[in-house]
């Protein structure tokens, strides 16, 4: 069993941190009145952006905690990351359905890409070598 961190885990951690920074950026811009709430809809999904800048701050905190947990190899981190990815898939369904109904190609590509990426995260984190790495303390 390898103690070296899998490359996919590193990539997921980096993505979580990047999305957390973007989410904090949206929160700051919304508070400053520079962008409307709907500008961050692609990030949160499911209409959660309508809850205001606090939703972006909480999402950022969740992603940073998840990144720290994955990086630190906490046992519950892998399962939590899978749950967050599955929740993101569920929240993307209304957006992609709306995009398909309205024939908005860019929105279809954006939402479809998010769904595909989240499915890849779930698939990767469900592989035996990754499971073993998290359980192998």
Per-residue model confidence as pLDDT tens digits over 20-30? 999 999 999 99
Whether this prediction's pTM lies above 0.85 is answered by yes
In a domain, 2, yes or no: no
In a domain, 121, yes or no: yes
For 29-71, what is each residue's pLDDT tens digit?
A: 999 999 998 888 888 877 788 888 999 999 999 999 999 999 9
d(CA 66, CA 131): 16
Number of domains in the chain: 1
Query: How far is CA 128 from each of CA 19, 114, 131, 134, 135, rounded to the nearest angstrom?
Result: 27, 24, 5, 10, 10
66, two tokens:
């998840």
- Residues 55 and 41: beta-carbon distance below 8 Å: no
Domain that holds residue 44: 7-135
In a domain, 1, yes or no: no
In a domain, 116, yes or no: yes
pLDDT given at position 2: 63
pLDDT given at position 137: 54
Cβ neighbours of residue 93 closer than 8 Å, sequence gap 6 or more: none
134, two tokens:
């998290």
pLDDT given at position 10: 96
- Out of 48-52, 55-59, 81-85, 99-103, least confident range: 48-52
Using DSSP's 3-state secondary structure scheme, residue 33 falls into: coil
């Amino acid at each position: 069993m390898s103690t070296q961190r899998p490359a996919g885990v590193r990539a997921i951690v980096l993505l979580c941190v990047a999305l957390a920074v973007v989410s904090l950026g949206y929160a700051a811009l919304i508070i400053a009145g520079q962008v409307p709430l709907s500008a961050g809809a692609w990030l949160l999904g499911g209409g959660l952006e309508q809850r205001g800048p606090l939703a972006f701050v909480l999402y950022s905190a969740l992603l940073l905690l998840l990144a720290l947990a994955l990086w630190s190899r906490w046992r519950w981190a892998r399962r939590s990351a899978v749950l967050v990815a599955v929740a993101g898939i569920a929240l993307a369904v209304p957006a992609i359905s709306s995009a398909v109904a309205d024939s908005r190609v860019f929105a279809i590509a954006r939402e479809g890409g998010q769904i595909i990426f989240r499915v890849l995260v779930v698939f990767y984190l469900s592989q035996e070598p990754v499971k073993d790495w998290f359980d192998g303390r």
